[in-house]
Amino acid sequence: MSQVARVLLPLPLPEAFDYAVPEGMALAVGDQVAAPLGPRLVRGVVVELREAHGVNRPLKDLASKLDDPPMPPSAVAFVEWAARYACEPAGDALAIALRGLRAPPPKPETGLVATGMAPARPTAARRSVLETAGDKPWKASALAAAAGVSAGVVKALVDEGVLARMEIPEPARLQPDLSRSGAVLNPSQAAAVAVLCEMIAEGGFQAALLDGVTGSGKTEVYLEAVAAALAADPKAQILVLLPEIALTQAVIARFEERFGVAPAEWHSGVAPPRRRRVWEAVASGAERIVVGARSALFLPFANLRLVVVDEEHDGSFKQEEGFIYHARDLAVARAKIEGAPVVLASATPSLESVWNAQGGRYRWLRLRARHGSARLPEVTLVDLRETPPEPGRWISPPLQQAMVETYAAGEQTLLFLNRRGYAPLVLCRACGERMTAPDTDSWLVEHRYSGRLVCHLTGWSMPRPERCPHCGAKDSLVSIGPGVERLEEEARLLFPDARIAVFSSDTVADAEAARALVASMAAGEFDILVATQSAAKGHNFPNLTLVGVVDADLGLRGGDLRAAERTYQLLAQATGRAGRAERPGRALIQTYAPDHAVMQALKAQDRDAFLAAEAAEREAARLPPYGRLAAVILSSHDGAALEDYARRLAAAAPNAPDVEVYGPADAPLALVRGRRRKRFLVRADRSVDLQAFLTTWRARAKPPGSVRMTVDVDPYSFL
Ligand code: ADP
């Protein structure tokens, strides 16, 4: 043995393992290997190589080097960094990075080609097939159809050897066409692009916040930055992160229009064989632009030269299960490791990013007006205490009036309600029982399309019962409150002739369905779109002139650190859909709290004042970004073991200056999937290495096997 390889395995193990490198196996950091683990061989990635001097314990030999492309060393470094940040085993981060390799690559397509042999019996049908086939490969069915013959004729020619099956070679990957020109930029766009080009020319890590109102043309700006990065380095690769699959299609179309080729797409909706193709092409450097959801961050870019995070404020960038991370924050880290610029774009940037921009850590690029003559919508607050809807209805008279006018003008309305299903609560009129899932502390949401009651946390569901499961009363269940399905019902009652559609994750199953619905809406095929947040972001609907926010107070309930900020962002985005083209738009916001700072800021369209007030509150409480926060969540089927461990863990908290540990407290969701839950919250000053604190703490009181511990650094969910 002359060399030792430290190999990281994509498994939840505390560390990488050392293996002996067999003589003759030439390895480099990032190479993929087959490593023995117990009786199995598992895939692993070499993270370090060193000479074997001084190693005096027996090491297992690596079995082989795999043919898969290596992970670039910077991608390996990122995996290790992300794991330390999240306080999780590095193997868990590696598992995300290698997810693209789970399936074999797609089978090569095959087709029929003429072999040059003459058919034994040259009938008219057979001659037609050969004339049609020419010298290119055909699918059998397409060939039969084009030649106007039955499938049997083609098959007979194959059997005779006149046609033969062969692999159709993959078309060469087209490179982005940099000779195409982009939009003619307006002066603020041009100024922003100039700064981004400067950052690209300077090279190295820098961050910019592209802060522009909805419709100001941020996408056009970052398309030009992408063009500059591609032009500056013929091997440059670009990553564009989006918070939702529903947005990827529109952005991909913009890239295709700008560069003549579609970028690679990366998200859970992409089929596994295709994902392997993308993974390999990203690792080899052949794929130049990737547009994807958060896990695209972990792709093995060979030469990542620019990262764009669009809608950077969006909470969907936070991965809340398994390996918990915030993709925007990790995108900045990845750019730093790669020595590349990163652009964070939003109309409603997060307090964190604005704080970084104000402090000079990020370049601050502002686009204060919409492009062209488009104006921001007029915002009106509808005080539901003064003009309430009729009982059992949710559209107030002023909103209804506005909808009537919009419909009469042949324009479109978006009704925004961030709640899936028909009704958020079903209760029994006879005994007062609220329908909940058997194993989870949350109300069941009624879905009328499917006729089921669904737990939105776990997906558990049951048919809507005819009798109350508690008291047995028949037909006593009533639906309380609205979801989008119920709002659709009300809209149909009010506008029986209008064309109405619902956009929520229940009606739009995948990226293709989202693209189709967005396209029909943009083409004016609907008069009213009832939508959750999936439709409220990013899309351009030229004929949409009215946005009605049905329940503006929805997100303000609950004790969430970011409740006000998030509500502001969501409603500013939703109302920003109105009046994007040359038609002026308006937004009506229904609220019981018109004096709330969020509603006032929306009405005055004064984001800066709102953020300043929010920032002052956070600073006083030394909460993010003025301090650091982490949540520790314990859960178990065994209530006694949970209590006992929570007490032990509380007692084991290290005594550190500038760190406060709160809890344990019952989590607001005290029961999920049959597991009881408890939470700690840790607040620390910015100078504290919070990850080191958490790691030390955890090491002092290991959980028993029956208790699961989850660490959530910078939590966004407080449930
Ligand atoms: P944002 O991303 O800021 O919401 P977009 O980039 O989607 O804005 O631009 C909004 C609309 O204005 C789009 O239809 C876009 O094509 C158009 N637009 C933006 N900038 C320009 C420009 N310089 N020239 C022509 N059209 C533009």
SS3 of 319-355: the string is ECCCCCEEHHHHHHHHHHHHCCEEEEEECCCCHHHHH
Q: Which atom number of ligand 1 is nearest to the Cα of residue 367?
A: 3
Distance CA 668, CA 94 (A): 32
Name the token pair of 183.
């939009």
Residue 106's pLDDT band (boundaries 50, 70, 90)?
A: confident
Residue 466's pLDDT band (boundaries 50, 70, 90)?
A: very high
Q: Which atom number of ligand 1 is nearest to the Cα of residue 189?
A: 23
Q: Is the pLDDT of residue 672 over 70?
A: yes
Contact indicator for 44, 13 with CB cutoff of 8 Å: no
Specify the amino acid at residue 392: G
Give the pLDDT of residue 187. Answer: 95
Nearest CA to ligand 1 atom 21: 217
Helix (H, G, I), strand (E, B) or coil at 693: helix
Print burial letters for 119-155: b (CB count within 10 Å at least 16), e (below 16): beeeeebbeebbebbeeebbebeebbeebebeeebbe
Distance 215 CA to ligand 1 centre (A): 6
Residue 353's pLDDT band (boundaries 50, 70, 90)?
A: very high
Does the beta carbon of 348 sit less than 6 angstroms from any atom of ligand 1?
no
Element housing 575 (H / E): helix 563-575
Distance 412 CA to ligand 1 centre (A): 20
Distance CA 104, CA 518 (A): 33
Distance 12 CA to ligand 1 centre (A): 45
Helix (H, G, I), strand (E, B) or coil at 139: coil
Q: Is the pLDDT of residue 559 over 70?
A: no
Q: Which atom number of ligand 1 is nearest to the Cα of residue 538?
A: 4
DSSP bridge pairs for 167: 110
Query: By CB neighbour count within 10 A (0-12 exposed, 13-18 middle, 19+ buried), where does 540 fall?
Result: middle
Q: Is the pLDDT of residue 468 over 80?
A: yes
Distance CA 460, CA 468 (A): 18
State the average pLDDT over residues 324-351: 97
Distance CA 475, CA 428 (A): 9
Distance 181 CA to ligand 1 centre (A): 15
The model carries a pTM of: 0.88
Q: Is the pLDDT of residue 373 over 90?
A: no
Contact indicator for 523, 492 with CB cutoff of 8 Å: no
Nearest CA to ligand 1 atom 24: 183
Does the beta carbon of 219 sit less than 6 angstroms from any atom of ligand 1?
yes
Does the beta carbon of 218 sit less than 6 angstroms from any atom of ligand 1?
yes
Distance 703 CA to ligand 1 centre (A): 53
Distance 572 CA to ligand 1 centre (A): 18
Mutational test site, ligand 1, from 220, 582, 583, max ligand atoms within 8 Å of CB: 220
State the average pLDDT over residues 524-538: 87
- Of 42-51, 252-261, 531-540, 651-660, the poorest mean pLDDT is in 531-540
- Nearest C-alpha neighbor of 8 from the set 44, 32, 41, 35: 44
Does the beta carbon of 370 sit less than 6 angstroms from any atom of ligand 1?
no
Does the beta carbon of 185 sit less than 6 angstroms from any atom of ligand 1?
yes
Residue 558's pLDDT band (boundaries 50, 70, 90)?
A: low
Residue 28's pLDDT band (boundaries 50, 70, 90)?
A: very high
Does the beta carbon of 366 sit less than 6 angstroms from any atom of ligand 1?
no
Does the beta carbon of 581 sit less than 6 angstroms from any atom of ligand 1?
no
Distance 40 CA to ligand 1 centre (A): 54
Does the beta carbon of 217 sit less than 6 angstroms from any atom of ligand 1?
yes
Q: Which atom number of ligand 1 is nearest to the Cα of residue 184?
A: 23
Laid out side by side, the sheet with 445-447 consists of 445-447, 452-454, 461-463
Nearest CA to ligand 1 atom 25: 183
Nearest CA to ligand 1 atom 17: 217
Q: Which atom number of ligand 1 is nearest to the Cα of residue 212?
A: 3
Q: Is the pLDDT of residue 168 over 80?
A: no
Does the beta carbon of 214 sit less than 6 angstroms from any atom of ligand 1?
yes
Distance 456 CA to ligand 1 centre (A): 36
Distance 590 CA to ligand 1 centre (A): 29
What percentage of the chain has pLDDT greater than the value 90?
71
Mutational test site, ligand 1, from 181, 188, 210, 219, max ligand atoms within 8 Å of CB: 219
Q: Is the pLDDT of residue 502 over 90?
A: yes
Does the beta carbon of 44 sit less than 6 angstroms from any atom of ligand 1?
no
Residue for token pair 């290596």: 70
Q: Which atom number of ligand 1 is nearest to the Cα of residue 219?
A: 6
Contacts of 655 (CB under 8 A, 6+ apart): none
Distance 623 CA to ligand 1 centre (A): 36
Does the beta carbon of 220 sit less than 6 angstroms from any atom of ligand 1?
yes
Q: Is the pLDDT of residue 581 over 70?
A: no
Give the pLDDT of residue 138. Answer: 87
Nearest CA to ligand 1 atom 14: 540
State the average pLDDT over residues 329-338: 98
Distance CA 502, CA 449 (A): 11
- Of 228-237, 515-524, 642-651, the poorest mean pLDDT is in 515-524
Residue 25's pLDDT band (boundaries 50, 70, 90)?
A: very high
Distance CA 94, CA 89 (A): 9
Does the beta carbon of 540 sit less than 6 angstroms from any atom of ligand 1?
yes
Phi, psi of 49 (to 5 degrees): -130, 140
Phi, psi of 175 (to 5 degrees): -90, 150
Contact indicator for 569, 213 with CB cutoff of 8 Å: no
Contact indicator for 28, 70 with CB cutoff of 8 Å: yes
Nearest CA to ligand 1 atom 26: 183
Q: Is the pLDDT of residue 34 over 70?
A: yes
Does the beta carbon of 77 sit less than 6 angstroms from any atom of ligand 1?
no
Name the token pair of 255.
């890239």
State the average pLDDT over residues 97-104: 89
State the average pLDDT over residues 40-53: 93
Q: Is the pLDDT of residue 582 over 80?
A: no
Does the beta carbon of 186 sit less than 6 angstroms from any atom of ligand 1?
yes
**Secondary structure E strands in 368-439:** 378-383, 412-416, 425-428
Nearest CA to ligand 1 atom 23: 185
CA dihedral (188, 192, 193, 194) in degrees, to 10, reads: 100
Nearest CA to ligand 1 atom 9: 217
Residue 538's pLDDT band (boundaries 50, 70, 90)?
A: low
Does the beta carbon of 579 sit less than 6 angstroms from any atom of ligand 1?
no
Phi, psi of 446 (to 5 degrees): -80, 130
Contacts of 56 (CB under 8 A, 6+ apart): none
Q: Is the pLDDT of residue 1 over 70?
A: no
CA dihedral (450, 453, 457, 460) in degrees, to 10, reads: -80
Does the beta carbon of 576 sit less than 6 angstroms from any atom of ligand 1?
no
Helix (H, G, I), strand (E, B) or coil at 595: coil
Distance 261 CA to ligand 1 centre (A): 20
Does the beta carbon of 183 sit less than 6 angstroms from any atom of ligand 1?
yes
Neighbouring C-alpha atoms within 13 Å toward the C-beta of 217: 26
Does the beta carbon of 537 sit less than 6 angstroms from any atom of ligand 1?
no
Residue 465's pLDDT band (boundaries 50, 70, 90)?
A: very high
Does the beta carbon of 346 sit less than 6 angstroms from any atom of ligand 1?
no
Q: What mean pLDDT value characterizes the chain? A: 92
Does the beta carbon of 485 sit less than 6 angstroms from any atom of ligand 1?
no
Distance of CA 341 to the CA centre of its chain: 21
Nearest CA to ligand 1 atom 10: 215
Phi, psi of 231 (to 5 degrees): -75, -35
Cβ of 329: how many Cβ atoms within 10 Å?
Answer: 19
Element housing 17 (H / E): strand 17-21
Does the beta carbon of 216 sit less than 6 angstroms from any atom of ligand 1?
yes
